[in-house]
Structure formats: C-alpha cells, structure tokens
Structure 1
Amino acid sequence: MNKTLPLDQQLCFALYSATNAVVRLYRPLLQPFDLTYAQYVVMLALWQQDSISLGELGNKTLFDSGALTPLVKKLEQKGLLQRIASLHDERVKQVVLTSAGKALENEVATVMPALRCQISLADERLIQLRTLARQVQLDIQQLEQCVQK
C-alpha cells in the first residue's frame, strides 16, 4: 500500500511541470534578446517601476538575494541596468535602467502576444489560472509569516 499520492496527483508536481512548460515556451522567444526567463522577470519589474532598491526588486520578483544578485550583475554586464548607491544610505543599492534597458521594453513587447498564440486556453481560463496561482502563492506567504512569528 502506497503512503503517498501518485506523482500525477500531486499539486506541487502539477504546478512545477506547468511552470517548466511555460518557461520552455519563453526560451526561444527571449533568445533573440539574449535574456533568460529570470532576467526577463527582473526587466518586467523594472519596466513597471524603475530606480528601486535591490530589496524592493526582490519583493517584486520573489527572488531571494542569492538568486537576484547574479541576475542583476549579468543584466548590468549586458548594459541594461546599473546598480547605484542610494543617496540616503550607501549600503542600499538602487537598480536603475539604462537607456538600452528602457529601449528593450519596446522590442520585447512581441514576446507576450507570441507566447499567447502558443497556449490554447481561452482568455477567461488563463485569468482563472493566474488568479488561482496567485491565491496559492499568497496563502503560502501568509502561512510563512505566521510560522515566523
């Protein structure tokens, strides 16, 4: 008698495999821009709000500092952003888009419509899926905050 649910009945595996499938769809779309999916997420956050601290960027992207710092350094090497010491506190680094980073937003605007063409779910179902995924993420964040107290 099995003590665990089969893999195909595990929520974690369903979410993990769906995420991997979507990220695989992004790869060829982001390749012409020399961006990985994680780098794209960082750029999306900065296009929404430029000139934010590394901490704020981590909060927006949900990347911890161990994952975020190498991403930001790589994007800085590509000339898409800069890390600048905050005027208020030199220990705090602000992440600021360069002109090349700002211009990339217009070029990358083709990615989302191209991705949308590859996913057969109706818009309503995609919205439901996104809403459920966000709710799971928020529930887990709340649980983590309760555990930390």
Structure 2
Amino acid sequence: MNGEANAPEQEFSPILGDQLCFALYAASRAVTTRYRPLLEPLGLTYPQYLVLLALWQQDTVPIKEIGAALQLDYGTLTPLVKRLEAGGLVRRERRPDDERTVLVTLTPEGHALQARAAHIPTAMGRAMGLTPTQFDQARTLLRLLTANVSE
C-alpha cells in the first residue's frame, strides 16, 4: 500500500534545500560518482555494472527482464548491452523457440569479472557510512517512494 490515503495533509516548502527530490538527486550523483573509481579499473560504467549484477545472479536473461529489473526501456538498455558485448563480457542471441526474445548471456570473461568486482558492494557500503538498520530503512523507503511515484 502506498500510504497516500493515510498521509496527513502538509505544506511543502519551495526552498531548494527542503526538497526531497533534490536530496535524492544529490545522493544519486554522489553515489554514482563514488562508484566511478571502483568501476574504471574494470572498464565499466555504473549502468553497465548494473546489467552485469543482474546477469551474475542468472547466467542467461532475456533482455526484457533485465530492462524490467533495472527499470530501463529497451532503447536505453540495448546500447549498454551492445557495449558489454563489444567488450567481450556478454553475448546476445535470439531464443531458438521464440525469435522475438533476445537472450543476454555472460561470456567466460563476464563471469571472471564478477570475482574482480566482488569488493565493490562492501566498499560502497562502507562509503555510505550507514548502519545495517539504516541501510535497510533507506532501501525500504526508497522502494516505497519509487512505487508511490510510479503509480
């Protein structure tokens, strides 16, 4: 439930520093900037890393499922996957029983990169400086916010 029906009426400030959207924007920029030095040695951008995270959970995934998981449209996702393919980390192929479905599969190089990237979640968790409880609360609130705004 989105909580909108139970939310009390309140006034929202027009001041930039009071805007939740600005706090989210600034936090997002800070986090992605912090990822950059961790990902550069791997030759990855943050969006490419997200695609690989999805593939490291499941070796072969339809591109449509990756897009849904990352909340990216096909037009945004396809160039990302093409660059990963050009880098030898994934391969794309049509599903034999359904030519409309494009499967994305990790190559041996893509699998090997997982071990080289294993330190990244811990490094980012430390950089965020949140307790495990704060981390869980922040993630829960952000997911709720995303669901509410996406309705």
Normalized against structure 1, the TM-score is what?
A: 0.88
The gaps in structure 2 that reach 5 residues or longer are: 1-11
Task: Write out aligned runs for 1:28-47 (5 A).
Answer: 28-47=37-56
- Aligned positions of 1:1-149 closer than 5 A: 5-141=14-150, 143=151
Q: Distance in 1 between matches of 2:71 and 2:41?
A: 25
CA distance, structure 2, for counterparts of residue 74 and residue 13 of structure 1:
31
Q: CA deviation at 1:116?
A: 2.0
The letter for the 2-side match of 1:50 is D
- Distance in 2, matches of 1:99 and 1:133, equals 34
Measure, in 2, the Cα distance between the counterparts of 1:140 and 1:124: 24
Letter of the structure 2 residue corresponding to residue 66 of structure 1: G
Question: CA–CA distance in 2 between the matches of 1:26 and 1:116?
Answer: 11
Residues 95, 101 of structure 2: 8 Å contact kept: yes
CA distance in 2, matches of 1:86, 1:74: 20
- Answer 1 or 2: which has greater helix percent: 1
Amino acid at match of 2:73: D
C-alpha deviation, 1:38, in angstroms: 0.4
The number of aligned residues is 140
TM-score by length of 2: 0.87
Give unpaired runs (5+ residues) of structure 1: 144-149
Asked which structure has the greater RCO (Cα within 8 Å, sep 6+), the reply is 2
How far is the alpha carbon of 1:133 from its aligned partner? Answer: 0.5
2:52 and 2:100 map into 1 onto residues whose CA distance is: 23
Q: Give 1:109 deviation, angstroms.
A: 0.2
Separation in structure 2 between the aligned mates of residue 16 and residue 35 of structure 1, nearest angstrom = 22
- Specify the code of the residue in structure 1 equivalent to 2:80: L
Q: Hey, what's the Cα distance between the residues in 1 that align with 2:13 and 2:133?
A: 33
The CA RMSD over aligned residues, in Å, is: 1.5
Letter in 2 for 1:45: A
Distance 1:29 1:20 in 2: 15
* 3-state secondary structure, aligned to 2:104: strand
Moved over 4 A (4+): none
Residue 4 of structure 1, CA deviation: 6.5
- The share of aligned pairs that are identical, in percent, is 44
Given residue 85 of structure 1, which amino acid in structure 2 is its aligned partner?
Answer: R
